[in-house]
Homo-oligomer: A and B are copies of this chain.
Amino acid sequence: MSTPNGRLSINQATIKYAPLADALQVTSDAGITSIGLWRDSVQAASLPEAGRLLADSGLRFSSLCRGGFFTVPEGRARRAAMDDNRRAIEETAHLAASGAPGSVAILVMVAGGIPQGSRDIAGARSMVHDALAELAPDAEAAGVTLALEPLHPMYASDRAVISTLKQALDLAAPFSPATVGVVVDTFHVWWDPELFPQIERAGAERRIASYQVCDWKTPLAADVLLSRHYPGDGVIDFAGITRAVQAAGYAGDIEVELFNQDIWDTPPAEAVARTVEGFEASVSAHLGHLSGDLRR
């Protein structure tokens, strides 16, 4: 097996059923040098233990999934959501400090859907703004970047009222780029007619906190949450998008995050090998050398 591109990071969701220790091992065994973790898995191990396992693995830490779900009217449930996000910020800082050099303290944020019984998507969006304003000081104090992820518009009602890169950048604008950034996930944004100018803008504003790659293919899975594919298996133009993200100055790890029942039913080592293969064929070739001053 060839050595995978050094910027590839396995998002743990791709091998969802592997417990944390196994996920780290299978990633490392594949010659991959970075991993993105999920909170449920980290909490199942306990945060201190997860930090030790990560440190022992020698892998970089590329992100924690995920905070957010902010679209809750003020009251006890919103306070609980805020407290949970503060814990996620602390977890992110701890894991970033535990990972190998080059680890980053990135907390991926999914906005949340329209509150139950409401039809007010604009109101839900303003709850996201308010939540970011409330959490920004905590993130800044912890040295964590809140990475707001626009999700595909098919999730706009029940998962994320933030659907485009432009929206995410507009929401991030009042904050320092070190505190609030954005995620560019090809699956979510590939269709957007404004994608390329907004990637350029994201670069100019130094907001790209994470670049994630996975493919889009139809028919969609019956559960549209599980419809993600290995890079190269669908219709996404990874050449164009990767070059644009690269030209925008992003030089960090690139995660592959696949929600797909067939992939989850594949033995983890095989799913990781297929991921490496897809990444090499569709993404690696478009990652040229960057001059030192473009590196984060």
Residues of A within 8 A of B (CB): 114, 118-121, 125, 152-154, 156-158, 163-164, 166-167, 190-193, 216-220, 222-224, 234-237
Closest beta carbon of chain B to A20's beta carbon, Å:
30
Known: A118-B235, A120-B237. 16 other contacts (CB 8 A): A114-B235, A119-B236, A119-B237, A121-B235, A121-B237, A125-B193, A153-B153, A153-B154, A153-B191, A153-B192, A154-B154, A156-B190, A156-B191, A157-B191, A157-B234, A157-B235
> Which chain B residues lie closer than 8 Å to A118 at the CB level?
235
Complex Cα–Cα for A6 and B129 (A): 41
Say yes or no: A119 contacts B235, CB within 8 Å.
Answer: yes
Number of copies of this chain that the complex holds: 2
A157 to chain B, nearest CB (A): 5
| Cβ-defined contact, B218 with A223, below 8 A | no
Contacts of A114 in B (CB 8 A): 235
- Asked, given contacts A114-B235, A236-B119, A237-B121, whether A166 binds B193 with beta carbons under 8 Å apart, the answer is yes
Q: In the assembled complex, which residues on chain B have CB atoms less than 8 Å from the CB atom of A152? A: 153-154
Q: Which 5 A-B pairs have the closest CB atoms?
A: A156-B191, A222-B222, A154-B154, A153-B191, A158-B218
User: Of B157, B166, B219, which is within 8 A of A216 by CB?
Assistant: B157
Separation of A290 and B289 alpha carbons in the complex (Å): 61
Question: For the complex, would chain A's binding face be called helix, strand, loop or mixed by DSSP majority?
Answer: loop
Q: Who on chain B is nearest to A163 by CB?
A: B191
Question: Contact between B218 and A193 (Cβ–Cβ < 8 Å)?
Answer: no
- Residues from chain B with Cβ under 8 Å of A164 in the complex: 193
- How far is B203's CA from A247's CA once the two chains are assembled, in angstroms? 38
Of all chain B residues, the one with the shortest Cβ separation from A215 is B119
In the bound assembly, the distance between CA atoms of A154 and B225 in angstroms comes to 12
Inter-chain contact A167/B153, CB cutoff 8 Å: no
List the B residue with the shortest CB-CB distance to A239.
B119
Interface hub of A193, A234, A237 (most chain B Cβ within 10 A): A193
Residues of B with C-beta under 8 A to A218? 157-158
The residue on B at minimum CB distance from A118 is B235
Return A116 CB to nearest CB of chain B, in Å: 10
Contact across chains for A154 and B120 when beta carbons are under 8 A apart = no
